[in-house]
Amino acid sequence: MDTIFIPTINDDPQDFVTLFRIWNSVHGKNELQLDFSSCNFLRQNAVAFLGGMITSIQSNGGRVSLIINSLGPAIKANLEQNGFLYAMGESALPWDGNSIPYRMDNENDSGTTSHHLAEKWIGQGWINIESRLAYEIIGNVLEIYINAFTHSRSSIGVFSCGQNYPNLNVLKISVVDFGIGIPKSVRDYLVANGTSYQISDEQALKIAFQEGFSTKPGLGGMGLKLLKEFIQKNKGCLDIYSHSGHAIIDANGERYERMNSFFEGTIVNISLNCDQKFYYLRDENNQQSFF
């Protein structure tokens, strides 16, 4: 049995590289145990990613166990609170706290996901906004889940987890799939429509976020214009990692870069400011109203 030591993982670019290296080191192995003795904290991206990694290995007949006594008291409490340990077969039930619970969605059920985001995310009172704006925010984030199901072709579903960081006044949520990745989805679409030239992973991400672009007819597209606009007005940040591409969308604009790592699927990390002054609605004349 191979032992994988999980370090402290935050959500800076180097932390995503760490996650992808862990995945690439265990992909295809059949029996693993995860040791957390060197880990002081796992941010929401790591929780969602590790849950998907474990499920992927198990779906291929492998076995993964957690060395529970290697968990320090603080990280164990957090993984109990957000439901990760319960999902992994431990008996401790999750409870309400600063986490948006760890979740695995096996099918595209927008109603259930919307209810989850409303009850466990916006509805927690971390952002004090009126209901119409709350539903607009939920609708924007729901696009991430819809695109993960529509474009990833993943056989094991979508994984997510979030966290409220009161000291930072920031709310974060991560959505992960272990499918084919945005670059492959874009390339397949371009080839099917007569494009023969090769594009890089970062170029594929840029194309995916162009307004009106879609690899599936009749859908809203992968451009996610409303979500990008919302993130920028909120002074938040949207990070997307897929293959070796990294897209960063924030108040400074959009940037697309190449990473020195590779992950076949896609992980989306959303950071929102909890300060009300960054939230707005559109009135009947499509004008922005700030609060």
- pLDDT of residue 288 exceeding 80: no
Cα–Cα distance measured from residue 29 to residue 46, given in angstroms and rounded to the nearest whole number:
20
Cα–Cα distance measured from residue 181 to residue 246, given in angstroms and rounded to the nearest whole number:
12
**What pLDDT is recorded for position 58?**
94
**What pLDDT is recorded for position 277?**
64
Of residues 141 and 101, more confidently modeled: 101
81 near 95, Cβ under 8 Å? yes
Strands 253-273, 237-250: pairing kind: antiparallel
Candidate from 29-43, 93-107, 138-152, 270-284 with smallest mean pLDDT: 270-284
What is the pTM (predicted TM-score) of this model?
A: 0.89
Of residues 152 and 95, more confidently modeled: 95
Of residues 9 and 220, more confidently modeled: 9
Q: What is the average pLDDT score of the chain?
A: 85
Cα–Cα distance measured from residue 291 to residue 215, given in angstroms and rounded to the nearest whole number:
36
Mean pLDDT confidence for 93-116: 82
**What pLDDT is recorded for position 72?**
95
Residues in the chain: 291
What are the structural domains of the chain?
2-290 (3.30.565.10)
Confidence of residue 125 (pLDDT cuts 50, 70, 90): low
Of residues 229 and 214, more confidently modeled: 229
- pLDDT of residue 283 exceeding 80: no
- pLDDT of residue 220 exceeding 60: no
Cα–Cα distance measured from residue 272 to residue 10, given in angstroms and rounded to the nearest whole number:
16
**What pLDDT is recorded for position 70?**
97
Long-range CB contacts (within 8 A, 24+) of 115-123 = 117/141, 117/142, 121/162, 121/171, 121/173
- pLDDT of residue 264 exceeding 80: yes
Sign of dihedral through CA atoms 46, 47, 48, 50?
A: positive
Mean pLDDT confidence for 28-36: 91
- pLDDT of residue 216 exceeding 90: no
